[in-house]
Chain A
């Protein structure tokens, strides 16, 4: 049902789902082109121009695969008392939203798959092996779950806040900067990298990108374990917020 809803309006679909990631990629492509054209053959923090573009292409793919979902509908439904029907149906509220997210992810997978095929035909990206591609896709899916739980958490804040879009903007901005979406994490000082490794942010973009590039040196099972741990922590916070929020819920407008 959510897949049908997402695709119901073609312009909206393009603007919301594909547009921002593509625009962001072209801005970064032009920016890095300008920087690298200053001096021929230059390497910055170990990245030459083609490696940087390769990195940024995979950032685009990872963001399409894992960071496209937004919870604005949930926040609005809570504020306007529209979640009441779902409180009566015999399933858990998060299950409904997870199903909606999975529907959305299916579309995103198709969009990302199409984008990957086009990019493989260009010289912008190095084509990975099937094994690397599969690892990257699995990792991106788990990252997508973390992104969904962050979004769900922000949506739940509507039990307390009138407007939640500010939180969403903060999450997007902070994630893009701290996850290596704008600058690869090699550009950060060592102490900042150490500090970041204790947060979920590096796993949101930098690590999956490195996996797609075949440059990740750590153990994949341990990585999945860390991601699941973060997923568990955020889900726990969501559970507490849900229980506490429901006590405040007045089902206004019903």
Chain B
């Protein structure tokens, strides 16, 4: 196993303070302590070459888990091994084998061109000149950033910066990559470019990747397995197909009609219809086994001009589970 966690727990201690000067004075003598369990007895096994999506709402514990797996913070309890190392020991051999990319945090030096940062990283990771040139050439071509390597980082667009951040974290060819929201804030084209790059890179090198993202398009395009964390606890760990079926094996199909149709017909009633545009569009929840037959009936009997099944069922599953965790 590349990553192995058992009962991993992280607790943070904070203190409550009443507002205002009196509150400050009071907290000087008596402070109410709050114990926040950010990650709670988390188990995780990742095989070599896996690309797993770690999902959860804000504050669920995803980043805390990433921080523990990379050795940035020390767990309160539990056991964990990454590539056979205990991350919190922060051995140099371990650090040479991992990479962490944070969409919200820069590791490139802001005031110098990316190439200068890369040269510094070459020294940090002791990469031979030949290998370094080869990797810079390969990655910059793949990410289409050859023209911006020598421009000050602060002058680049967010998309270009993110590509260069990715490049910086891959120069030492890590065996495990932790990607914490790598597409956050990017436009649709830039998101797609990053996703495409990651997919090709991972397929070619079989690098183990643990990815967190709030964009389900990232997860659907890249991950075959999903781990869901809610309130610090693992609530789901299985294939993306099973994840999309958590709420039942049903398809959400939208039909658009030429004109408004009769909304009182019996055909709609058992499929939880959601009507829009004065009866000119309806979304139905149809059991998988009835999809063909019911769609054919509707297409034959009504003036259908367009119909489609939902594009990303996992997005609906995610939003439903975040608001109703008891469904799991």
Contact = CB atoms under 8 A, between A and B. Distances in A.
B178 to A, nearest CB: 9
A85 B98 contact: no
A130 interface: no
Nearest to B63: A254
B124 A247 contact: no
Given A84-B72, A90-B92, A90-B125, A254 B98 contact: no
Contacts of A254: 63, 67, 72, 102, 104-105
A191 interface: no
B75 to A, nearest CB: 10
B89 to A, nearest CB: 11
B73 interface: yes
Contacts of B12: 250
B63 A88 contact: no
Contacts of A87: 70-72, 90
Nearest to A92: B92
Given A89-B95, A90-B96, A254-B105, A246 B74 contact: yes
Interface residues of A, number: 15
Contacts of A246: 73-74
Interface in B204-225: none
A85 B99 CA distance: 10
Nearest to A1: B120
Interface in B101-126: 102, 104-105, 107, 109, 111, 120, 124-126
Interface string A237-254: 000000000110111001
A70 B100 CA distance: 30
Contacts of B100: 88
Contacts of A251: 67, 72-73
B118 to A, nearest CB: 13
Nearest to B96: A90
B105 A88 contact: no
A250 B36 CA distance: 12
Contacts, number: 46
Interface in B47-75: 63, 67, 70-74
Interface residues of B, number: 25
B90 A89 contact: no
Nearest to B116: A1
B28 to A, nearest CB: 13
Contacts of A91: 92, 124
Interface in B153-202: none
A207 B201 CA distance: 61
Nearest to B75: A247
Nearest to B74: A247
Contacts of B98: 88
Contacts of A88: 70-72, 95, 98-100
Contacts of A90: 92, 95-96, 124-126
A198 to B, nearest CB: 36
Nearest to A85: B107
Interface string A165-192: 0000000000000000000000000000
A79 to B, nearest CB: 15
Greatest chain A CB density within 10 A among B73, B90, B99, B111 is at B73
Contacts of B102: 254
A1 B116 CA distance: 10
Contacts of A1: 109, 120
A254 B180 CA distance: 10
Contacts of A89: 95, 124
A246 B126 CA distance: 26
Interface string A73-91: 0000000000011011111
Contacts of B125: 90
A124 B102 CA distance: 57
Contacts of B124: 89-91
A89 B70 CA distance: 11
Nearest to A93: B90
Nearest to A84: B72
**CB-CB nearest 9 A-B residue pairs:** A90-B95, A90-B96, A90-B92, A85-B107, A247-B74, A84-B72, A87-B72, A251-B72, A89-B124
Given A89-B95, A89-B124, A251-B67, 15 more contacts: A8-B111, A84-B72, A84-B105, A85-B107, A88-B98, A88-B99, A90-B92, A90-B125, A91-B124, A246-B73, A247-B74, A250-B73, A251-B72, A254-B67, A254-B104
Interface of B: 12, 63, 67, 70-74, 90, 92, 95-96, 98-100, 102, 104-105, 107, 109, 111, 120, 124-126
24 contacts: A84-B67, A84-B105, A85-B105, A87-B70, A87-B71, A88-B72, A88-B95, A88-B99, A89-B124, A90-B95, A90-B124, A90-B126, A91-B92, A91-B124, A246-B73, A249-B73, A249-B74, A250-B12, A251-B67, A251-B72, A251-B73, A254-B67, A254-B102, A254-B104
Interface of A: 1, 8, 84-85, 87-91, 246-247, 249-251, 254
